[in-house]
Chain A
Amino acid sequence: MTLETTRRLKHDTPDTDRRLDGMAQGVLGTGMDRPEGPLKVSGRATYAAEAHPEAMAEGYLVRATTIGRITGSNADAIRAMPGVIEVIEDERMIRNAAQGMAGESPVQRQGQVWYVGQPVACVVAESFEQARHAAQAMMVTIEPDGTHVFDAEDPAAEVEKPEQKQLDQGDLEGAMSAATFSLDATYHTPSMSSAAMEPHASIAQWDEDGVLTLRGSYQLLKFNKAELADVLGVAPDKVRILSPYVGGGFGSKLGLAPEAVAAALAAQALGRPVRVVLHRRQVFETVTRRSETRQRIRLACDAEGKLSAIGHENLVSQLPGEVFSEPVAQGTHFQYAAPNRVIGHEIARIRRPAAGSVRAPGEAVGVTAFEIAIDELAKKAGIDPLEFRLRNVPDKHPENGKPFSSSTMEATLREGAKRFGWTHTPPRQRREGEWWIGTGMAGAVRVNMMIEAMARAVLTGQGVRVECDMTDIGTGSYAILTQVAAEMLGFAPDRVETVLGDTDLPPASGSGGSFGAASTSTAVYLACMELRERLAAKLGVKEPELTLKDGLAIHENRQTPLAEILGEEEWRALGHLQPGKAGQEVRQATWGAIFAEVAVSDVTGETRVRRMDGTFAAGRILNLKTARSQCHGGMTWGIGLALTEAMEHDPRDGHMVNRDLAEYHLPVNLDVPQLGVHFLEERDDWANPLQAKGIGELSVCGSGAAVINAIENACGVRVRRLPATLDQVMDGLIAQG
C-alpha cells in the first residue's frame, strides 16, 4: 500500500507567502488550451446520456397539468401499451430539483402536485419513442386542493419577511427628506432559466451489492450523492455518481433533479439500467428557475453626489417548502458607502415552479437594478455616472466596518473607462438614420466564497495525476487543475493527467457560486505542496529552496530528475481545504466595470448592442483563456437580462408558457457584439494561498445595467421592467413625442 499523507489548511489568515509567484514552470495563468478540448470537439467526450450499458431501458417523465392531490392514474392502461415495461409512481420521486448544496432530498411526490408541470410518474419502455408516447398518453387524476396564488404581487399572496434578512441602520427616511437629490423607484426582473445547452440526463444502474451508479450531469457531486442517498433511503456509500463532462450548468445542475431519481427508482424496480433524459420543455419546468423580483430602491445624496442613504427592498417568489430565496441585496450590503441603510427581503409563497440559484444568484438581478438606480440618481444630480460612483467607493464594509480583502472597485472603474474611451454626454445627442446611439456604464460586484475541498495528487517520476470529484461544467476545471499541478510540481502540462467527476475520488468543492476553481485549485495546491515537502525532505533541502521544472528537482546548483528520486515509486498526497476565519474577518469580493454602446430604433424601439467592454479584478487569473470565456458568457447573460430573456408564467395557473428555446429568447450571435474583456491582475491574500478568486459570475452582475443605462442615454427612455423589450422602449418613445 502506497503511503498517502494529507495536508490540511484551515484558512484563517491571509497567505502572504504567495508561493505560486516563486514557481518556475510558467504555465499557470497562461491561456492554456483545455486538455479535454480535442475529445469534446471530436465527440469522444461521453456526456451523461451517451453511455449505453447493456439492456438499458428508457424512461420518460409524466407531467401534471393541474395542482392538487393525486387520486389515481391510468397506469394499468399505459402498461399495456407497446414496449412499455413499467410505470413508476413511486412516492419518493421529487417534485423539483434540489437546491444547491442541500445535501438532502427536496420535497418528494407524496401524492401531491404543487405546481403545474411537476413530474408525477415515469414511464419506462424498451425504446425512447415508446416511453415518450406512453408518457404523453398517461393521465393522472388530481383532485384540486383549493385556490392558489400565482403572482408574487397578488395581494392574496402569502408573504414571509425573515427577520435575519432585514436591515435598518440610521434614518433612511430622514436622509431622504434632507437630501439634495433623491430617488424612489421600483424595478422588476423576470423569472429566468439557466437554459444550459445539455438537458439533464441520467443513467442509473444497480449492481448485485446494492450499489447504485448514476451517470448524470451535475455540478456538486458530493452533495448530489448525499441527496440521492437521502431520496432513496440508502447509505451514501451505496451511491456513486459519475459526471466527467457537463454541458453547461449555470446553477441548474447544482441540485439533484427529477430525472436522476426517476432513473434510480426505475432501475431498482426493473433490475436493469434505465436512462431518463429531460425534454427541453421539462428542463424549463422541473429545474429551478431564477425568481422574478420586484425591487424598490431608494437613494439620497448631497449636491456633490455623496450618498447619504441606500434602501433596497425586494420581493421574490418561491414554492412552499423550499429554503432558498433569491438573495437580491447580497451586493448592496457593501457595494456603496452611505450611513443610512435599509434592506428588506420578502418571499411570496406562490405556485410557480420552484426557484433556485441561477448564474450569480442575488447580484445578477440585484446589482443590475441597483446600478440602474445609481445611474438615475447621478443623472438627477447632474454628475457623470462614472464620477458619481467614484465618489461613493466604500473604504470598508459600510454596515459592519470590516475591511475588504482587496478593493479594486475604483481601479476597475478608472481602467474600464480609459479602455472604453468613456465620455459622459446627455441623452439624445447622437443619431444615425433612425437609430439613436448612446453609451452606458455600470459597476459589477460579486461576493467571493470558498468551499471545503479535497483533492489527491499522485506523483511519479514521469508526471502527476490529479484526482477528485470536481466537475468541469464547461468552465475549464480540467485545464486549471492541470496547470496548478504542473506549476507546483514542475512538469509540462502534458505530463499531468486530471481525473474528475467521480464520487469515488476525494470530494472537491464542485462547481457553483464561482467557488469551484479557487477552492479545488487550493486543494490541489495543498496536495502538491505536501509532495514538494516530501521531495525536499528526501533531497535534504528546505522546500522553499527547491525548484521543480520540466521533471527536474533543482537545488543548490544541482539538478536531479524526479524519475531518479522516485524510481518506480508512486507518491500520493491529499490536499484538504477548510474555509475558516478568512472568510468572515474581511469582506471578500470581486469587482468590475462594464461599458456599453447601444443603438435604439426610433421607429420600433429595438435595441442593438454595438460595443461592450468589461474590466474585472478577481485575484490571480489561473487561465487567461477560460477566464475570458467566462466573462464573455457573463456579459452575454447581461445582454439577455437587459434585452431578451423572460420566462412567462400563465396568469391562471402559473405554468411556464414559453418553455422552449424558440420562445425563451437567449441572445443569439447577432445580439452580441465583440466583447472586450480585461483583467486587473491582483493578489488577494485573504482569498486562499493561490490569491485567486471566482470569476465566473462577476461579469453577469452589472452588464445588463450598462445596457439599460445606455438605452436611456441613447433615446431618453428609462426602462425599469426588464427585459427592455421593444414595445416598452417604443411606448417610451411615443410618450416622449
Chain B
Amino acid sequence: MRAFDYVRAGDTAEALREAGGAETRFIAGGTNLLDLMKLEVMAPGKLVDINRLDLGGIEATGEGGLRIGALVTNSDLAADARVRRDWPVLSRALLAGASGQLRNKATTGGNLLQRTRCYYFYDRGEPCNKREPGSGCAARDGMNRILAILGTSEHCIATHPSDMAVAMRALGARVEVEGQGGAREIALEDFYRLPGDTPHIETVLEPGQLITAVILPPPAGGRQIYRKVRDRSSYAFALVSVAAVVAVENGRIAKAQLAFGGLGPMPWRDADVEDALVGETPSAALFDRAADILLAEAKGHGGNDFKIPLTRRTLAAVLTQATEADQ
C-alpha cells in the first residue's frame, strides 16, 4: 500500500473542502477500496473519511418514496421494514450480495462505486485499460467467464459487480450528489458511463463530488423478483442477475421494469425490452422476443458466451414467475 494522507471529515462541507485533488478518494466502509489499495490497483494520495458525516438514515420523501442516506449500510437497508414491504426487490438484491460481514460494513454510496471484479483489473502484472489507461485489455483474449456481453468496447469488457444497483436501476432510483457547486440529483440511468475508449471513467461524478443519498421513487407495486445466477450458492458475483418489477392487469402486462446484473459495465436496463412486454399477454414466445431485443447486440468473448443463452433462460423464468396467476 502506498503511503497516503488521511483526513476524517466532521461534516459534508469539510469533506467537500478536503476533496479537492484528483488523487483524493472518499472512504466509507472501505470494503472494496482498501483491498484495491493493498494491491495498489488504486493508490490515492489522500483519503477523506466520511463516516462521521450526517449521511445515515432512511426517510420518507414527500412524493412517497424513500431517501436513503449514503452511509446506510447494506445490512440496515436490506432489513428496513419499509424497503422489505414496498421495495422488496431491493432488499432481496442486497441480501444476494457479498457476505453478512461485508454487508454490515458496506454502504449505499460505496456500493454504487464498486469497481469491477475483472481478474486482470486486479492483477498489476497484466495490462488493463481501466487500471492503466492505454495499456490494453488482457481480458478480451484471456479468461473472461465473469465479464460483460453488453455495452463493452474494444478497450474494456468489465462488468459492474453490484447487486444493489441492479435493483435500484429497476426501481428508477436517483442519486443525490453534492459538490463545491452545490447539490444535484442524477438519475441512476445517467449516473454510469459506458467504457468506450475511457474505461477508467466509470460515472459522471466529477472529482470532489460526494454521493449523499439515493432516492427511491414511490413504491412501484407489482411482483418483485431478484434472481441471481452464480458459480456457487452464496458469496459469488453474478454471472447473470435479473431485477424485475412486473404487474399484470386483466391478463396483460401492465408494468415491466427490468434491470440486469453481470451483463454490462453498468446495471443494465433496456427500455425497448420493457416496451415490448407492456400491453402484451404473457407467453413463452413473448418472453423469448424480449430476450431477442435485450440480447440483439450481445457479444461473447469465448469464456462468457454462455451468458447469452443463460440470460435468455433466466429472463424467461423470472418473467414466468412474475406473471403467473395466483401465487
Contacts and interface: CB of A to CB of B under 8 A. Distances in A.
A63 B239 contact: no
A650 B139 CA distance: 10
Contact of A662 (B40, B117, B309, B314): B117
Contact of B231 (A63, A65, A725): A725
B225 to A, nearest CB: 13
Interface stretch (A106-114, A217-225, A302-310, A602-610): A602-610
Contact of A668 (B39, B125, B141, B232): B232
Contact of A730 (B122, B125, B232, B313): B313
B3 interface: yes
B235 to A, nearest CB: 5
A132 B43 CA distance: 13
Contacts of B314: 603-604
A665 interface: yes
Contacts of B233: 608, 668, 670-671
A671 B125 contact: no
B124 interface: yes
Interface in A635-669: 643-644, 648, 650-652, 655, 657-658, 660, 662-663, 665, 667-669
A17 B229 CA distance: 58
Contact of A665 (B2, B232, B317): B232
A726 interface: yes
Nearest to B125: A65
A663 B145 CA distance: 11
A726 B38 contact: no
Interface in B3-62: 3, 38-40
Contacts of A667: 232
B201 interface: no
B142 interface: yes
A223 to B, nearest CB: 32
Contact of B40 (A133, A606, A652, A734): A133
A342 to B, nearest CB: 35
A727 interface: yes
A136 B1 CA distance: 9
Interface string B119-147: 11011110000000000001001110110
Contact of B2 (A133, A604, A652, A725): A133
A129 interface: yes
Interface in A77-95: 82
Contacts of A726: 229, 231, 239, 310
Contacts of B235: 668
B1 A655 contact: no
A603 B232 contact: no
Contacts of B231: 644, 665, 725-726
B306 A643 contact: no
A297 interface: no
B310 A650 contact: no
A160 interface: no
Task: Identify the interface centre among A655, A667, A670, A727: most chain B CB within 10 Å of its CB.
Answer: A727
B143 A658 contact: yes
A125 to B, nearest CB: 12
Contact of B232 (A116, A132, A643, A655): A643
A133 B316 CA distance: 49
A608 B234 CA distance: 11
A667 B1 CA distance: 30
Interface residues of A, number: 38
B276 interface: no
Nearest to B146: A663
A65 B138 CA distance: 14
A434 interface: yes
B254 interface: no
B143 A670 contact: no
Contacts of B40: 133, 136
B236 interface: yes
Interface string B143-178: 101100000000000000000000000000000000
Contact of B1 (A133, A606, A665): A133
A395 interface: no
A660 B141 CA distance: 21
A731 interface: yes
Nearest to A116: B125
B317 A434 contact: yes
Contacts of A662: 117, 236-237
B135 to A, nearest CB: 13
A651 B142 contact: yes
A730 B141 contact: no
Contact of B143 (A136, A648, A668, A669): A648
Interface string B203-242: 0000000000000000000000000010111111101000
Interface string A461-488: 0000000000000000000000000000
B143 A606 contact: no
Interface in B93-126: 117, 119-120, 122-125
Interface string A122-149: 0000000100110010000000000000
B125 A655 contact: yes
Interface string B288-327: 0000000000000000001001100110110000000000
A591 B125 CA distance: 45
Given A657-B143, A663-B119, A63 B125 contact: yes
Interface string B225-268: 00001011111110100000000000000000000000000000
A606 to B, nearest CB: 7
A290 to B, nearest CB: 19
Interface string A669-687: 1110000000000000000
Interface centre among A116, A606, A663, A671 (most CB of B within 10 A): A663
A614 to B, nearest CB: 21
A436 B143 CA distance: 31
Contact of A658 (B1, B119, B234, B316): B119
Contacts of B38: 132
Given A603-B313, A658-B119, A133 B3 contact: yes
A136 B142 CA distance: 23
Contacts of B142: 650-652, 657
30 contacts: A82-B3, A116-B125, A129-B1, A132-B1, A132-B38, A133-B1, A136-B124, A434-B317, A604-B229, A604-B310, A604-B317, A644-B231, A644-B232, A648-B143, A651-B142, A652-B141, A655-B125, A657-B119, A660-B122, A662-B237, A663-B117, A667-B232, A668-B234, A669-B234, A670-B234, A671-B233, A727-B310, A730-B310, A730-B313, A734-B309
Interface of B: 1-3, 38-40, 117, 119-120, 122-125, 138, 141-143, 145-146, 229, 231-237, 239, 306, 309-310, 313-314, 316-317
Given A643-B232, A670-B232, 4 more contacts: A663-B146, A671-B234, A726-B310, A730-B306
Q: Which 10 residue pairs are nearest across A and B when measured between Cβ atoms?
A: A727-B306, A670-B233, A65-B125, A670-B234, A603-B317, A657-B143, A657-B119, A671-B233, A644-B232, A668-B235
